[in-house]
């Protein structure tokens, strides 16, 4: 095999888990944090500033034995709207998903309006997506429009 035909894995393969690919290089650490992977006890492999034919540069995260629920996938979509989730079992791709920003976002974000009822009482937040790119959302309760998002803790 010639060097030109050889594919090289810069971030090693995982037996079981999830690969998050096509992450913008400036949001890789944010994706790690919002998914709690910075505190995950199993193996997490990170590659950043990797060459990408489609995006120029990209980030990638591989989380061993970790599979994500829809709320987590929605979080990824909010900061990395072109990301791809690849589910791996026995070193084989069993599912590939493209993240999508949902029309409604519940529970995962915090309203920036200090007077919003969600910041004063124990009420789960709800937002409507007004625009996807750039992201613009509106609080269901106080109708505050936001372009900078804050994740709920």
Instruction: Tell me if 17-98 shares its fold with 104-151.
Output: no
What is the reported pLDDT for 121?
94
* DSSP SS3 for 118: helix
What is the reported pLDDT for 12?
77
The pTM is what?
0.81
What is the reported pLDDT for 1?
39
The span from the CA of 146 to the CA of 16, in Å, is: 37
Q: 61: how many CB neighbours lie within 10 A of its CB?
A: 25
The span from the CA of 97 to the CA of 69, in Å, is: 12
Q: Which CATH architecture has domain 104-151?
A: Roll (2.30)
The whole-angstrom distance between residue 64's C-alpha and the CA centroid of its chain comes to 16
| Of the options 3.40.225.10, 3.30.70.140, 1.10.1670.10, 3.40.50.12780, the CATH number for the domain spanning 17-98 | 3.30.70.140
What is the reported pLDDT for 54?
83
What is the reported pLDDT for 21?
95
Q: What are the domain boundaries of the chain?
A: 17-98, 104-151
Residues (pLDDT < 70) of the chain are: 1-11
């Amino acid at each position: 095999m010639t060097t030109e035909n050889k594919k090289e894995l810069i971030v090693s393969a995982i037996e079981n888990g999830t690969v998050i690919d096509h992450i913008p290089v400036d949001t890789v650490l944010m994706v790690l944090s919002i998914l709690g992977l910075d505190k995950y006890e199993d193996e997490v492999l990170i590659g950043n500033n990797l060459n990408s034919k489609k995006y120029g540069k990209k980030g990638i995260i591989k989380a061993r034995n970790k599979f994500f629920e829809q709320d987590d996938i929605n979080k990824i979509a909010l900061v990395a709207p072109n990301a791809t989730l690849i589910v791996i079992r026995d070193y084989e791709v069993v599912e590939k998903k493209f993240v999508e920003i949902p029309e409604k976002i519940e529970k995962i974000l915090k309203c920036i309006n200090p007077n919003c009822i969600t910041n004063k009482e124990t009420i789960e937040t709800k937002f409507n997506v007004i625009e996807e790119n750039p992201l613009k959302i509106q609080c269901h309760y106080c109708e505050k429009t936001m372009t900078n998002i804050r994740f709920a803790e």
